[in-house]
């Protein structure tokens, strides 16, 4: 069996051919752009992102070696650093074409380590002596200092998603000072210390930027520390320690990811999974910090799946059938979910894993189908666990949707923020999804025990009821169809009698259709319609269709609706029975109703009963008609 790769590179990498002529390549993480800089006379720059439409090419005057180059958000302003003291700015805004300005750092004797855009016109300079926060004023060809902070800086790390920057301070570099940026403001967050491993004296360990990464995982900002232990310790294997960095409050150590090996590593976060690449084995492992390890304390995590290499990518050949050996390639890494299904045997854990992934719906449905295809071997407890996990997510979405609807109907309240409509993620597997992709075909399987099929269907209904989700009638229809097909009428009767199958008009109509196969279904149907209390018209129609005209009349009188019913409908039904005395009784009832309501036994023209009056006279004579009482 070939190795199942659950990590792959995206189909269309960012690439630069003939890269041998490129002097420098820079990657801007905020905009996901690669800058290829060629010098010689004028400086040529090619900028590429994940979308070819965003590619930009331009020339600028050669004013020295480019040390760093980045566009602001939206490619509006280009910032170029060529010296340790200043950064140059070039406008790419149509209203201010080719406007340029330059800004030196304010701190005396400071050297610029780098810069980060926080907005289309706001930028941070990071120097070895602190940070400076500026607003770019292109129309004035200048920058305005918004705020600065003095602190000795070894290196920095920036998270563009949250606009939070980390500054490494102190001689060992392990005290990190975060700052947050938003709408022209800079906020100093509580500093924290990364706990370094113990090393034999007199050796001293420093924290470097190669050991740190910042990323947003499940909507929270984390600092990830790649911790290498000394070989003299009891557990020399490396681990990744996660520190959660909240907007309010202090940073705290929250998770430890066990790598179970040593060597050189690299980190990525893909679809809220921490991916750790091991250089020497050329394998990658993934961690999900929301998957709890039952036997581990303090959120210690083992890899979710066994290590695998990234799926090989074949670089297309260029002209002449020769691969460009000097090309630059930048790929997005992505997780392939189908291979994970066979690598994670615990179905409950697999479902927890899949429900948190972006493109999970069809994989989850295929897991359900595969689980049921094993027949009784799959085990009903496992099936129940899977259904409960799916329906919990389904219920949470329905509740969020209901809360949103109520809030919209009641209108905005003073001081409350506007609500966003809940996003229906692929993790929401509703009854229609399960019916269409899993249960409908499963119920028709000939090689599976009908008892197991019924048990599975009832388990899904139980799971829905447990979280108070109204069961759709088509699921009940599947159950009833299976029961009737295998002559399990006693079980059907029990399910209905004890309300295992909830009352509904469609279900009552289905029961009616079964009367020829199972005669008691007729009475079961009527009982259900009566319990619904909103189905009086349906009950009357059912009784009339069975020529139980007196029964229909008694029922409608019992619920107090006899003053509003159609006389013609009942007279039509009575006449179709060919029972003259029944017709006489029904005709006399409506004469009496007419007399009571209008003071005359005659029918109004709008009731269209003329033919029934003629028939009554033919059979019983004119004298049988009720006479109007005169006072």
Domain coordinates of the chain in residue numbers? 7-312+331-339, 340-408+423-561, 562-630
Share of the chain above pLDDT 70, in %: 93
Query: What's the Cα-to-Cα distance from 389 to each of 3, 352, 356, 395, 464, rounded to whole Å?
Result: 30, 8, 12, 10, 11
- Got the DSSP string for 146-187? EEEEE---S-EEEETTTTEEEEEESTTS-EEEEEEEETTEEE
Q: What pLDDT sits at residue 413? A: 67
Q: What pLDDT sits at residue 253? A: 94
Q: How many C-beta neighbours within 10 Å does residue 449 have?
A: 11
Q: Nearest to residue 121, comparing CAs of 107, 138, 98?
A: 138
Q: Are 389 and 381 in contact (CB under 8 A)?
A: no
What is the reported pTM? 0.82
Buried b (16+ CB within 10 A) or exposed e, 595-619: beeeeebebeeeeebeebeebbeee
Q: What pLDDT sits at residue 323? A: 47
Quick: pLDDT tens for 13-22: 777 766 667 7
228 has pLDDT over 60 = yes
Q: Nearest to residue 169, comparing CAs of 179, 159, 177, 178?
A: 177
User: CA-to-CA distance for 556 and 224, rounded, in angstroms?
Assistant: 72
User: CA-to-CA distance for 87 and 81, rounded, in angstroms?
Assistant: 5
| Main-chain dihedrals φ then ψ at residue 55, nearest 5 degrees | -70, 140
Query: What's the Cα-to-Cα distance from 380 to each of 256, 402, 468, rounded to whole Å?
Result: 35, 32, 21
- Distance between start and end Cα atoms, the chain: 101
Kindly indicate the confidence band of residue 385, based on its pLDDT and cuts at 50, 70 and 90.
very high
Q: What is the largest CA-CA distance in the chain?
A: 126
Average pLDDT over every residue of 599-607:
91
Quick: pLDDT tens for 182-226: 999 999 999 999 999 888 777 788 999 999 999 999 999 999 999
Measured in residues, the chain has a length of: 631
Beta bridge partners of 267: 276
Q: What pLDDT sits at residue 502? A: 86
Write out the two tokens for 159: 């998270």
User: CA-to-CA distance for 421 and 527, rounded, in angstroms?
Assistant: 41
343 has pLDDT over 60 = yes
User: CA-to-CA distance for 244 and 223, rounded, in angstroms?
Assistant: 6
Q: Are 222 and 242 in contact (CB under 8 A)?
A: yes
Per DSSP, the three-state class of 8 is strand
User: CA-to-CA distance for 138 and 179, rounded, in angstroms?
Assistant: 26
138 has pLDDT over 60 = yes
Q: Cα dihedral sign for 287, 289, 291, 294?
A: positive
Instruction: Indicate the fold that domain 7-312+331-339 takes in CATH.
Output: Methylamine Dehydrogenase; Chain H (2.130.10)
Kindly indicate the confidence band of residue 2, based on its pLDDT and cuts at 50, 70 and 90.
very low
Q: Are 161 and 32 in contact (CB under 8 A)?
A: no
322 has pLDDT over 50 = no
Share of the chain above pLDDT 90, in %: 63
376 has pLDDT over 60 = no
Of 212 and 40, which is predicted with more confidence?
Answer: 212
Average pLDDT over every residue of 269-277:
97
Q: What pLDDT sits at residue 326? A: 58
**Which of 182-191's residues contact partners 24+ apart within 8 Å by CB, and which partners?**
183/119, 184/119, 184/122, 184/135, 184/146, 185/146, 185/147, 186/131, 186/133, 186/146, 186/147, 186/149, 188/149, 189/164, 189/245, 189/247, 189/251, 190/249, 190/250, 190/251
| Main-chain dihedrals φ then ψ at residue 185, nearest 5 degrees | -115, 150
Q: Which pairing describes strands 164-169 and 68-71: parallel, antiparallel, or unpaired? A: unpaired
């Amino acid at each position: 069996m070939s190795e199942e790769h659950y990590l792959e590179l995206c189909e269309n990498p960012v690439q630069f051919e003939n890269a041998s002529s490129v002097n420098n390549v820079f990657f801007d993480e905020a905009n996901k752009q690669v800058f290829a800089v060629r010098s010689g006379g004028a400086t040529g720059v090619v900028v590429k992102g994940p979308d070819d439409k965003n590619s930009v090419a331009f020339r600028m005057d050669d004013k020295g070696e480019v040390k760093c180059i980045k566009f602001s958000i939206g490619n509006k302003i280009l910032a170029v650093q060529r010296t340790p003291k200043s950064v140059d700015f070039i406008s790419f805004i149509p209203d201010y074409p080719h406007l340029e300005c330059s800004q030196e750092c304010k701190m005396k004797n400071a050297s610029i380590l780098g810069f980060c855009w926080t907005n289309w016109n706001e930028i941070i300079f990071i120097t070895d002596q602190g940070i400076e926060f500026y607003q770019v004023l292109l129309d004035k060809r200048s920058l305005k200092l918004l705020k600065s902070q003095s602190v000795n800086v070894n290196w920095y790390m920036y998270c563009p998603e949250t606009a939070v920057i980390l500054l490494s301070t102190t001689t060992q570099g392990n005290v990190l000072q975060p700052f947050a940026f938003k709408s022209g403001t800079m906020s100093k967050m509580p500093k924290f210390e990364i706990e370094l491993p113990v090393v034999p004296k007199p050796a001293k360990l420093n924290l470097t930027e190669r050991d740190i990464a910042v990323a947003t995982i499940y909507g929270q900002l984390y600092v990830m520390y790649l911790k290498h232990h000394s070989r003299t310790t009891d557990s020399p294997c490396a681990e990744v320690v996660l520190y959660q960095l909240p907007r309010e409050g202090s940073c705290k150590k929250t998770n430890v990811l066990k790598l179970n090996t040593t060597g050189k590593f690299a980190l990525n976060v893909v679809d809220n999974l921490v991916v750790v690449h091991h250089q020497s084995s050329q394998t990658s492992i993934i961690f999900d910090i929301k998957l709890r390890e039952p036997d581990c304390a303090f959120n210690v995590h083992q890899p979710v799946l066994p290590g695998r290499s990234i799926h090989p990518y074949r670089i297309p050949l260029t002209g002449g059938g020769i691969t460009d050996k000097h090309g630059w390639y930048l790929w997005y890494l992505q997780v392939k979910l189908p291979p994970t299904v066979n690598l994670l045997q615990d179905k409950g854990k697999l479902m927890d894993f899949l429900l948190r992934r972006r493109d999970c719906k069809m994989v989850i449905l295929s897991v359900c189908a595969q689980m049921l295809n094993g027949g009784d071997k799959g085990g009903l407890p496992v099936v129940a666990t899977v259904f409960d996990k799916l329906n919990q997510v389904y219920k949470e979405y329905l509740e969020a949707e209901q809360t949103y609807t109520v809030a919209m109907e009641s209108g905005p309240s003073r001081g409350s923020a506007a609500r966003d409509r809940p996003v229906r993620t692929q993790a929401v597997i509703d009854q229609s999804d399960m019916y269409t992709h899993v249960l409908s075909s499963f119920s028709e399987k000939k090689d599976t025990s009908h008892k197991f099929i019924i048990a599975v269907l009832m388990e899904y209904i139980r799971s829905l009821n447990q979280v108070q989700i109204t069961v759709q009638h088509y699921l009940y229809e599947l159950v009833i169809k299976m029961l009737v097909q295998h002559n399990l009428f006693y079980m059907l009767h029990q399910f209905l009698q004890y309300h295992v199958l909830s009352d509904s008009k469609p279900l009552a109509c289905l029961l009616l259709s079964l009367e020829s196969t199972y005669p008691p279904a007729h009475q079961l149907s009527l009982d259900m319609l009566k319990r619904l209390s909103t189905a009086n018209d349906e009950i009357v129609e059912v009784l009339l269709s069975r020529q139980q005209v007196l029964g229909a009349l008694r029922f409608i009188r019992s619920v107090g609706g006899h003053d509003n019913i159609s006389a013609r409908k009942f007279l039509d039904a009575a006449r179709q029975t060919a029972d003259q005395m029944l017709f006489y009784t029904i005709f006399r009832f409506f004469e009496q109703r007419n007399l009571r309501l209008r003071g005359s036994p005659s029918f109004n023209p709008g009731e269209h009963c003329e033919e029934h009056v003629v028939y009554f006279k033919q059979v019983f004579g004119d004298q049988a008609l009720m006479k109007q009482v005169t006072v």
